Structure 1
Amino acid sequence: MEAGALVIIMALLVLFAFLGLGVWATVKVVGAAKRGVDRTIHQARRTVEDTTLKARSLGQVGVAGALAQLRLDLRTSMRATQQALHQGVRTDASLKESIGLFERLSAHGQELDDELKRLEQEPDRKRTAEALPDLRERVGKITQAADSLRWAARDRARRFAEDDLSALSEQIKMESGALRDWSREPVDDLAAAAAAWDATQAPGQGGRQPSEGQGQAAPGNRPQALDPAAPPARHPWQKAPRPESTT
């Protein structure tokens, strides 16, 4: 009875674990989907707002056009720097500190953008026009700082790419030289083969020695004297002489 109860308890625990895992996975999926939807809505809203600012900066004159141009310059610079830093940190971890500085700068930029947005609805155009020089100066400081971070990150990435390309080119040059150094290989092979042949033919180094009685003609079987007029013995690899012309 106790064993059966223990089995039931273990089965319930496993079931609850699976249910909990399923709930956790569902929450994660829903959260990721919600973040994706929010990001899409934010991007669409930002695109619409940027398009509106471009239209205002080109189509309106006076204070309204100046405010729209300031917001457009500020947002364009901040967005380009953010994109450059977040792309660069994927391959260069040292840019994390730069991202931290940019986030602090971004807080000032967001505050200034909100102020410019409020001034677009300000009915007192005279006071807004008087504030334009100060607003331009503040926008210039933020965009200059953002541009400095962006170009520094790009220069760093380009320098790393140039150094890597130089090292790779040098390695390829050395490898190409090694591949073309074939002049000594055949000579070394022939020398090694000749040395091996000489070693097998030397006495006591594997060469065959004539046994006793070998090399002497058997009685009654003496070798015939060589006829000086007879043609020399031919080796199999020698070519047959060309026939002399009878003309």
Structure 2
Amino acid sequence: MDFGTVFLILMLVIIAIVVGVAITVGVLVSRGVVSLVKISKPKYESAKRSALKVRADSTTGPMGEILKQRVELADSLQATRRSLDAAQGTRQYTGNLESIFNTLQQTGTLMEHQLLVAQQEPDPAVQSLYAKTLGVQVEQITQTAKGLRNALASAAAPAGDVDLKDLTRTLEIEAAMLKKWSKTYTDLGTDQPGP
């Protein structure tokens, strides 16, 4: 082989190795970024919600009312989602509540957008009108969400009542029978003649 062919083969091998390393590094980095995003998203959402709560508590006037409505709406929907997930996780019958909650959540998303528009309004008089109008709707959504949680709580009632006195009496009878049984078989073992 001449020098040109050897050089070309070496260059192709080096290029293949570099491309392979680049692809491997790219895949590892992208997986790391995706997992980092999955881990950090809940923390980011929590920090964002905490900042909104602090801002709502420290702001006065119509802007403060709008911010408080946003916090109330988000907290109510999140609490309802957690309750529904917990009920479904324990295989509690939830009927049509998931569908109702999905509709409620869509309405809540639309309301959040309207509250954001109200928050951006520069005129305090118009903001005050937004706060009053949207406040009624936010209250309806939060009351419906609370009703949904109440329905879940009602469905979680015990299936049957147990009379504890009867249960205790039955347990005492069983214990007495076991004691008598144990004594009978112990006595039988000592009554047998030796070999």
- Give your verdict on TM over 0.5: yes
Instruction: Assess, with a 3 A threshold, how the Cα gap between structure 1 residues 56 and 177 changes in structure 2: closer, same or farther.
Output: same
Name the structure 2 match of 1:85.
84
Partner residue in 2 for 1:136: 135
Letter in 2 for 1:127: V
Measured at CA, do residues 62 and 179 of structure 1 come closer, stay the same or move farther in structure 2, by a change above 3 Å?
Answer: same
Structure 1 gap ranges (5+): 1-25, 190-247
TM-aligned CA deviation for residue 51 of structure 1: 1.5
1:6-35 Cα offsets, whole Å, 9 max, x none, are xxxxxxxxxxxxxxxxxxxx9xxx59x83x
How big is the shift at 1:50? Answer: 1.5
Contact 2:73 2:142 in 1 (8 A): yes
Give the direction of change, closer, same or farther, for the CA distance of 1:185–1:93 in structure 2 (3 Å limit).
closer
Closer, same or farther in 2 for the Cα pair 1:68/1:182, shift >3 Å?
Answer: closer
Residue 112 (str. 1) matches residue 108 (str. 2): no
Partner of 2:126: 127
Taking the aligned partners of 2:165 and 2:112, their CA distance within structure 1 comes to 48
Corresponding residue for residue 9 of structure 1: none
Query: What residue in structure 2 maps to residue 178 of structure 1?
Result: 174
Q: Which has the larger radius of gyration?
A: 1
Give, in whole Å, the separation in 1 of the partners of 2:175 and 2:109: 60
CA separation of 1:123 and 1:176: change in aligned 2, threshold 3 A: same
1:58 CA drift (Å) = 1.6
Distance, in Å, in 2 between the alignment partners of 1:52 and 1:38 is 20
Deviations 1:83-104 (A, max 9, x none): 0110111223522521221011
Identity of aligned residues (%): 21
More helix by share: 2
CA–CA distance in 2 between the matches of 1:55 and 1:184? 69
Residue type at the aligned position of 1:174:
T
* AA in 1 matched with 2:67: A
Alpha carbons 2:118, 2:131 under 8 Å: kept: no
TM-score, normalisation: structure 1: 0.54
Distance 2:55 2:117 in 1: 15
Residues 82 and 63 (structure 1 numbering): CA distance in 2 closer, same or farther, change over 3 Å? same
SS of the equivalent of 1:94 reads coil
The two structures, once aligned, show a CA RMSD in angstroms of 3.4
CA distance in 2 between counterparts of 1:102 and 1:61 reads: 32
Aligned pairs, how many?
158
Q: Name the SS of the counterpart of 1:89 in structure 2.
A: helix
> How big is each residue's C-alpha offset from its partner over 1:117-147, in whole Å with a ceiling of 9 and x where there is no partner?
2221221221121122211110011000101
Please report how far the alpha carbon of residue 172 of structure 1 lies from its aligned counterpart in structure 2 after TM superposition. 5.9
The whole-number CA distance in structure 1 between the counterparts of 2:178 and 2:44 is 66
1:39 deviates by 3.9
The equivalent residue for 1:245 is none
